[in-house]
């Protein structure tokens, strides 16, 4: 039903009662039929506390004489950390917690290699935009596991020298022949069964790529126009298995 | 002192944020305070104290690693550059190698990137990162050297201490934003169109890269010639070199042949903010890491002005926007906590009021859910546009007998001293229902009265008592109204006058207020001075219990309520009241009488927003359906009464849902003054969607 800009036909629910009409101005107001419900009526006295509802939970008496107005602090005070709720022992097992693997990937002459891997506690978010010159992705078959932007990969940029000669008023850019980047992948995706099939792919970003939500297809499919693959590595070393990383102490606890 | 790490900003789990690791080289144990001070001044107060990085501070974790060097000062190397900038034939003229934590050598030579790694630097750096920082997307290395310089790229920036924050913000524009430089140094660009966000060769208005930010009246190109500013026609007097967008020749270090968006962006002159093109790009790409939403929006006069500013609570962070100029200006971000230590959590409940009587609003914040014990805090202005905690009550305030999960707080000036106080109610967590009155001193609260199970005359506080506050007798003190339609054999309304000794019941209505035709279970009370006599009156709406919805107006007489009007089924002009009508009290037309906003998204084929303007004795209504300007009204919308413009009243509604924020103007009908998607930014032209 749609409202219309006219005198409304009032919608009535005939199963319910109507209020009595408002008497004309100056006339005595007759007593209304008051809706009644189950339950006690109020008196002028306080009822006894209900037995069932937290019957033992009574506040200690309030002694107004003992209340002190707070004094104005003479200096800024730090009240310290608030007390976190305790997590029940065993409530969050190490096996069940979210983690991701941070892969240190080296690029040399267009070839990728895994130099190191690290385990990080916590969830892994997915970027939605890929600004700058490059992006990486980690895939398993046709499924995107994670992707990230690499805005200034492989570049060395000296800061401008405003006091120097004119040619030094910009950056001195050097393209590095060997460089590294970090790729990330959810730890639960890296298993003995998958580790040989997981691919790390480096893309050149031709123009700014992004979406409200990144799907689970490889970047090359989602951003066919904007990205071009430039290097690929298929299969991660066993040392990148989360268990192996944990064994060698390759996890930095979150502060 | 051993090596250590301090989390300077803890925005969230590292995998969901952008992580910046700061490491120092050449700082001995005795030098660590200087290093810490530099990081605080340059990164925290400098980069993250300004514009974009301040606004999106919640997207960044910042880890400061303190590495202790044996020697003080970074190693130094001097090159013989043979009079050229080509480094290939340079030779080392002299060097002083020191025993430092990372072994980086500062050269001061532009063509050698000002500094270089020693043989072990990469290994030492990786070891430090692996030991101290769970993840790092951007690494900032600070050298104990007083000079200017710096080397960036590949997600790293290395700087001596002579570099100021704006240079680092520029550098982060490359490393985090993926932006190109916008300045000109030499030559003509002859290449094709590149992927850079902020450079283009396309001068066609219909296809140029940032066309959505270019006013149709702006000539294209706008500036022609080497590193040109506006020179194609007279430059408008109001033209902003930083925020007005066109096509200006010169950028990417080339003098000509390529165009930049504005005369001067941070990617050009360092000091200005990012231009609209760069800003929008970095906001879009980092937005998912901020956790920002418009759900937790609160209006308040936080700067003490006449207009309503905006507080956004995002769960674990807050932002404060000042109503200023054309719209809103970001003034403050509190990430994880504010100074004084209030740590933000999803279930924080916020009460806005002038608790210290200074004419500006402060924030009371309560959380009974997310911590081991409930907390109550008072946040006040820090004097620089931000907020800091000045009082915190951990678990209890003396006399209340313990905060509990379902404590509910209302703002009320109970003693007429110009400072808002608090009324606290709990009907759920104890064997009886409690009401407490907390007086404000401006810097804290103290319990003045507690009512255990009853306020004399009320006949028992009960679980479903609903409390409302307003000055019912125009004595400058806010009084209390209680309604209960659930717990008794009939519905009750009680009026309680606030005085020096607490609350005194002035009237109780058992089952009816004369003229209303019977109080009922689902009556909803709305308080507001609808006749402008200085006394807060009462509207009652019921859409559930009768054959038709009813809206009543009851005037506060000082010691009771007197019938003024009743609308049966409709308020003329509203097109029929319906079950789920909801009302917000506000002086919409600014004449000193409280009116009603009406809102219904459930009972009709589309959503309706209405104004019910009070004449003092009645209401005349109007409505708008489905859209207000570009705002598509919908079920998730929430509303805050506000004053965005004008001299009187609260004619505006700040309307908000997860992704959108708008300003609806009801002064003379319905119009949309502002609309924002995902973030608040008043672009000079164009917008981010």
Contacts of A249 in chain B (CB under 8 A): none
> Span B517-523, mean pLDDT?
96
B387 near B335, Cβ under 8 Å? no
A228 to chain B, any CB pair closer than 8 A? The answer is no
Mutation site for A-interface testing, chosen from B3, B8, B10, B13 by largest number of A Cβ within 10 Å: B13
pLDDT tier at A8, thresholds 50, 70, 90: low
Q: Is the pLDDT of residue B150 over 60?
A: yes
* Record: contact B151-A156, CB cut-off 8 A: yes
What local confidence, expressed as pLDDT, does residue B326 receive? 84
Mutation site for B-interface testing, chosen from A70, A98, A205 by largest number of B Cβ within 10 Å: A70
Residue entry with tokens 């890491």? B289
| Nearest C-alpha in A relative to B576 | A8
* Record: contact B517-A8, CB cut-off 8 A: no
pLDDT per residue as tens digits for the range A161-201: 888 888 888 888 888 899 999 999 999 999 999 999 999 99
Compute the 3-state secondary structure of chain B and give helix, strand, coil in percent, each to the nearest 5.
10, 35, 50
List of residues 6+ apart from B665 with CB closer than 8 A: B644, B645, B651, B652, B671, B672, B673
Residue A238, min C-alpha distance to chain B (Å):
19
Q: Is the pLDDT of residue B269 over 90?
A: yes
Q: Is B673 exposed, middle or buried (0-12, 13-18, 19+ CB in 10 A)?
A: middle
**d(C-alpha B386, C-alpha B353), whole Å:** 16
> Span B629-641, mean pLDDT?
98
Long-range CB pairs of A90-96 (<8 Å, 24+ gap) are none
The length of chain A is: 255
What local confidence, expressed as pLDDT, does residue A23 receive? 75
pLDDT per residue as tens digits for the range A205-238: 998 899 989 999 999 999 999 999 999 999 999 9
What local confidence, expressed as pLDDT, does residue A5 receive? 46
Helix (H) or strand (E) holding B497: strand B492-499
A149 near A161, Cβ under 8 Å? no
* Record: contact A171-B176, CB cut-off 8 A: no
Q: Is the pLDDT of residue A25 over 70?
A: yes
Cβ–Cβ contacts within 10 Å for residue A238, how many? 11
Q: What 3-state class would DSSP assign to B15? A: helix
Residue A235, min C-alpha distance to chain B (Å):
23
User: Could you please report the per-residue DSSP string of A234-250?
Assistant: E---GGGSHHHHHHTT-
pLDDT per residue as tens digits for the range B562-573: 999 999 999 999
* Record: contact B154-A153, CB cut-off 8 A: yes
Q: Count contacts between A and B (CB, < 8 Å).
A: 385
What local confidence, expressed as pLDDT, does residue B236 receive? 98
Mutation site for A-interface testing, chosen from B9, B127, B135 by largest number of A Cβ within 10 Å: B135
Cβ–Cβ contacts within 10 Å for residue B209, how many? 20
B393 near B414, Cβ under 8 Å? no
> Span B21-38, mean pLDDT?
98
A247 to chain B, any CB pair closer than 8 A? The answer is no
pLDDT per residue as tens digits for the range B540-591: 999 999 999 999 999 999 889 999 999 999 999 999 999 999 999 999 999 9
| Nearest C-alpha in B relative to A155 | B153
| Nearest C-alpha in B relative to A45 | B459
When the pLDDT of each residue in chain A is averaged and rounded to a whole number, the result is 86
Mutation site for B-interface testing, chosen from A42, A47, A48, A227 by largest number of B Cβ within 10 Å: A42
What local confidence, expressed as pLDDT, does residue A9 receive? 67
Residue entry with tokens 């219904």? B600
User: Looking at per-residue confidence, does A9 or B279 come out higher?
Assistant: B279
List of residues 6+ apart from A170 with CB closer than 8 A: A160, B181, B183, B185, B186, B253
Residue A125, min C-alpha distance to chain B (Å):
5
Per-window interface: A 62-121 vs B, CB < 8 A: 62-64, 66-70, 72-73, 76-86, 98, 100, 102, 104, 116, 118, 120-121
pLDDT per residue as tens digits for the range A236-246: 999 999 999 99
| Residue B210 token pair | 């940032």
> Span B661-689, mean pLDDT?
97
**d(C-alpha A227, C-alpha A129), whole Å:** 12
* Record: contact B110-A210, CB cut-off 8 A: no
Burial A212-222, CB ≥16 within 10 A → b, else e: eebeeebbbeb
List of residues 6+ apart from B23 with CB closer than 8 A: B65, B67, B101, B102, B125, B128, B129, B139, B140, B141, B142
pLDDT per residue as tens digits for the range B589-612: 999 999 999 999 999 999 999 999
ipTM: 0.89
* Record: contact A159-B163, CB cut-off 8 A: yes
């Amino acid at each position: 039903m749609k409202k219309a800009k006219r005198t409304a036909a009032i919608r009535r629910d005939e199963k319910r009662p109507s209020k009595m009409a408002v008497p004309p101005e100056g006339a005595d107001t007759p007593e209304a039929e008051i809706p009644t419900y189950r339950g006690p009526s109020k008196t002028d006295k306080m009822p006894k506390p209900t037995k069932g509802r937290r019957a033992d939970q009574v506040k200690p008496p309030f002694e107004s004489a003992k209340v002190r107005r707070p004094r104005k602090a003479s200096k800024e005070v730090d009240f310290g950390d608030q007390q976190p709720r305790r997590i029940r022992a065993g409530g969050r097992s190490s096996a069940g917690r979210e983690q991701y693997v941070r892969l240190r990937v080296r690029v040399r002459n267009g070839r990728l290699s895994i130099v190191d891997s690290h385990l990080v506690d916590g969830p892994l978010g997915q970027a939605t935009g890929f600004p700058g010159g490059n992006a990486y992705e980690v895939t398993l078959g046709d499924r995107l596991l994670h992707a990230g932007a690499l805005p200034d990969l492989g570049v060395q940029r000296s800061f401008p020298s405003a006091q120097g000669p004119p040619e030094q008023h910009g950056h001195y850019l050097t393209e590095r022949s060997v460089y590294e980047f970090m790729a990330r992948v959810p730890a639960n995706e890296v298993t003995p069964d998958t580790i040989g099939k997981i691919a790390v792919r480096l893309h050149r970003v031709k123009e700014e790529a992004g979406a409200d939500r990144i799907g689970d297809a490889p970047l090359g499919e989602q951003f066919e126009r904007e990205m071009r693959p430039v290097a690929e590595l298929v299969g991660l070393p066993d040392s990148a298995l989360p268990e192996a990383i944990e064994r060698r102490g390759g996890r930095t606890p979150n502060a | 002192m051993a090596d250590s790490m301090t989390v300077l900003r803890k925005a969230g789990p590292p995998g969901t944020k952008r992580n910046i690791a700061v490491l120092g080289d050449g700082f001995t144990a005795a030098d660590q305070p200087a290093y810490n001070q530099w990081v605080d001044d340059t990164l925290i107060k400098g980069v993250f104290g300004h514009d974009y990085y301040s606004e999106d501070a919640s997207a960044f974790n910042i880890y400061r690693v303190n590495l202790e060097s044996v020697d003080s000062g970074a190693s130094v190397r001097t090159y013989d550059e043979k009079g050229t900038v080509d480094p290939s034939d340079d030779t080392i003229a002299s060097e002083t190698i020191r025993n430092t934590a990372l072994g980086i050598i500062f050269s001061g030579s532009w063509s050698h990137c000002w500094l270089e790694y020693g043989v072990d630097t990469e290994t030492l750096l990786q070891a430090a990162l692996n030991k101290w920082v769970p993840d790092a997307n951007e690494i900032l290395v600070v050298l104990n050297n007083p000079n200017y310089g710096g080397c960036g790229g590949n997600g790293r920036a290395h700087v001596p201490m002579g570099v100021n924050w704006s240079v680092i913000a520029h550098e982060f524009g490359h490393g985090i934003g993926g932006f190109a430089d916008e300045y000109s140094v030499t030559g003509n660009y002859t290449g094709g169109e590149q992927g850079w966000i902020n450079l283009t060769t396309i001068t066609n208005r219909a296809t140029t890269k940032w066309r959505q930010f270019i006013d149709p009246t702006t000539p294209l190109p706008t500036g022609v010639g080497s590193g040109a500013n506006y020179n194609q026609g007279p430059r408008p007097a109001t033209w902003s070199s930083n925020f007005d967008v066109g096509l200006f020749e010169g950028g990417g270090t080339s003098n000509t042949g390529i165009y930049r968006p504005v005369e001067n962006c941070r990617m050009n002159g360092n000091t200005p903010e990012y231009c609209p093109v760069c800003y929008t790009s970095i906001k879009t790409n980092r937005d998912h890491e901020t956790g920002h939403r418009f759900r937790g929006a609160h209006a308040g006069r936080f700067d003490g002005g006449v207009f309503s500013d905006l507080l956004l609570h995002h769960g674990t962070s807050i932002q404060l926007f000042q109503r200023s100029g054309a719209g809103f200006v970001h003034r403050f971000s509190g990430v994880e906590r504010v100074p004084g230590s209030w740590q933000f959590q999803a279930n924080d409940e916020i009460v806005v009021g002038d608790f210290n009587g200074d004419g500006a609003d402060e924030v009371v914040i309560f959380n009974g859910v997310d911590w081991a014990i409930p907390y109550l805090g008072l946040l006040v202005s820090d004097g620089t546009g931000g907020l800091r905690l000045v009082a915190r009550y951990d678990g209890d305030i003396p006399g209340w007998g313990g905060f509990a999960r379902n404590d509910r707080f209302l703002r009320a000036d109970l003693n007429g001293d110009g400072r808002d106080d608090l009324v606290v109610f709990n009907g759920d967590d104890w064997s009886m229902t409690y009401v407490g009155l907390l007086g404000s001193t401006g810097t804290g609260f103290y319990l003045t009265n507690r009512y255990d199970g009853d306020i004399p005359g009320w006949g028992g506080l009960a679980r479903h008592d609903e409390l409302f506050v307003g000055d019912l007798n125009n004595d400058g003190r806010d009084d209390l109204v209680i309604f209960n339609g659930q717990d008794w054999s009939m519905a009750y309304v009680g009026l309680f006058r606030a005085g020096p000794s607490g609350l005194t019941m002035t009237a109780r209505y058992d089952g009816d207020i004369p003229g209303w035709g019977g109080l009922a279970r689902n009556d909803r009370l709305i308080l507001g001075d609808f006749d402008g006599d200085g006394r807060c009156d009462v509207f009652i709406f019921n859409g559930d219990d009768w054959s038709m919805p009813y809206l009543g107006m009851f005037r506060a007489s000082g010691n009771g309520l007197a019938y003024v009007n009743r609308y049966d089924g409709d308020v003329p002009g509203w097109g029929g009241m319906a079950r789920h009508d909801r009302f917000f009290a506000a002086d919409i037309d600014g004449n000193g009488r409280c009116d009603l906003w009406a809102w219904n998204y459930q009972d009709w084929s589309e959503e309706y927003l209405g104004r019910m303007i009070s004449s003092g004795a009645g209401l005349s209504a109007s409505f708008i359906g489905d859209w207000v300007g570009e705002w598509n009204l919908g079920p998730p919308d929430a509303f805050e009464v506000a004053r965005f413009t004008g001299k009187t009243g609260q004619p505006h509604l700040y309307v908000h849902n997860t992704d959108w924020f708008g300003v609806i103007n009801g002064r003379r009908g319905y119009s949309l003054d502002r609309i924002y998607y995902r973030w608040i930014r008043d672009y000079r032209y164009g917008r981010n969607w």
